[in-house]
Amino acid sequence: MRRTTAPRILPEIAVSRRDPMQAENFPDAAGASRVYAKALGGKSLRTAIVHYWLVSERGGEKVVRALCDLFPDAVLFAHVADKSLTDRLFRGHEVRTSFISKLPFAERAYKAYLPLMPLALEEIDLSEFDLVISSESGPAKGVIPSPGALHICYCHSPMRYLWDQRHLYRSQANALTRFAMPFLAHYMRQWDVSAAARVDAFAANSGFVASRIRKYYRRESDVIHPPVDIERFQNAGPQKEEWRDAYLWVGQITAYKNPLAAVEAANKLRRKLIVIGDGELRDQMKARAGDTVTFLGRASDETVLQAYASCRALVFPGEEDFGITPVEAMAAGAPVIALNQGGARETVIDGATGVLYEGTTGDDLSRAMLRFEEAESGFCKDEIRAHAESFSLASFRRAMSAFLRRHGVTLANEGAAPQ
């Protein structure tokens, strides 16, 4: 069978000197022949960064911000974008939105348009771009780049509401969504797998996510942990005395984070618990809470920093893809009591920076808290802070630069990246 010819390379990039048909250029089963390219001396690749939606500042948006630092001329794409957010986080970057942003009530109800997002992504014109980086945990990687472009996907997670947590999400949905979800999810999963085949190379934010990429997409990926502003949390300011004997829970109060286990453990042991965050389970969590539990709601950044620096330990009873919260707490010197699943297995060192435990109930967490208290005097805040530095912004930049270089892209500002 005759081999297809290599894709055309746009004028601003140069073909690697290695033979494009060698086996090393076929790193996975996606299959189509491709030529990797690198920037010419003084010119930069025309780069697009595709995110699912830009409406809040969470872990995914922090990764996008770090990518924008690596590619200061990149154009951002998203289904919807909050201008106040993009002006603050991505100043100097052009932001373009899909047709979803023009639909009724899209700024608030964008998730209701999920069935239209595959079409919206495929309608985005990326013909002017040499490099496409998709940031994926909602629909983002399904764009169609030019034949000669390189498509990198930084995957925070395969869409959990389509794959491993579909039954959990369905159980919490309204009646209409529960009825429609099996049919829509079936169609979306088929599209999601086909979209994965359009990606030239995957980076996963944890080994846990890499295993799920392998399971659902049959693709390999490089693990690059997301960046955490370590210095910000290391300089958290003075401690608050009344919080020194309190445990801390921080996050969106939603089912997969298992916040009710934290309340149940605090009730059982009669321990102080500070809860920071909001979400659909807030009222249920408050109803179950005893008099040792304090709710601060959506607290300011300063309050969160002070809580990390002051607390006895952070409790983290949910399974996260990576989980930035434990790293933030450790950067402030706080030990972490975490469920031994998901990304926490890669960030928390049992017996050194915290306690890892098995089981998802409040009783399981309470036993872990007692085990922590027995060893509490042996935890060193300076050692915990030092461990958190391995997840810094500088570490992310080095890992991402090396990953891109392996796929033929040399950053123009690579020499200036933090060492």
Per-residue pLDDT tens over the stretch 302-348:
999 999 999 999 999 999 999 999 999 999 999 999 999 999 999 99
Provide mean pLDDT across the span 24-48. 48
CB atoms within 10 A of CB 88: 10
Alpha-helical regions (H) of 72-206: 83-89, 106-109, 117-122, 166-172, 175-196
Question: Residue 132's beta-bridge partner residues?
Answer: 48, 151
Distance of CA 296 to CAs 111, 131, 307, 349, Å? 27, 43, 11, 29
Angle of the 324-331 helix axis to the 301-310 helix axis, nearest 10: 70
In whole angstroms, give the CA distance from residue 362 to residue 68: 41
pLDDT of 43 reads: 52
Tell me the pLDDT of the chain averaged across its residues: 86
Look at residue 418 and tell me whether its pLDDT is greater than 90.
no
Q: Which residues contact 166 (CB under 8 A, 6 or more apart)?
A: 160, 181, 185
Banded pLDDT at 32 (limits 50, 70, 90): very low
pLDDT of 185 reads: 81
pLDDT digits (tens, 9 = 90+) for 104-126: 999 889 988 999 999 999 999 99
CB–CB of 339/360 below 8 Å? Answer: yes
Name the phi and psi angles at 401, rounded to 5. -60, -45
Provide mean pLDDT across the span 168-189. 78
Alpha-helical regions (H) of 114-202: 117-122, 166-172, 175-196
Q: Which amino acid is at 333?
A: G
Provide mean pLDDT across the span 257-276. 97
Domain ranges of the chain: 13-227+393-416, 230-391
pLDDT of 45 reads: 83
Q: Does domain 230-391 have CATH number 3.40.50.2000?
A: yes
Question: Residue 151's beta-bridge partner residues?
Answer: 132
Banded pLDDT at 11 (limits 50, 70, 90): very low
pLDDT of 248 reads: 98
Query: End-to-end alpha-carbon separation of the chain, Å?
Result: 48
pLDDT of 414 reads: 58
The tokens for 299 are 């607290």
Element (H, E) at 233: helix 230-234
Banded pLDDT at 12 (limits 50, 70, 90): very low
Element (H, E) at 362: helix 362-375
pLDDT of 412 reads: 66
pLDDT of 206 reads: 94
In whole angstroms, give the CA distance from residue 209 to residue 199: 16
Q: Which amino acid is at 89?
A: L
Q: Does domain 13-227+393-416 have CATH number 3.40.50.720?
A: no
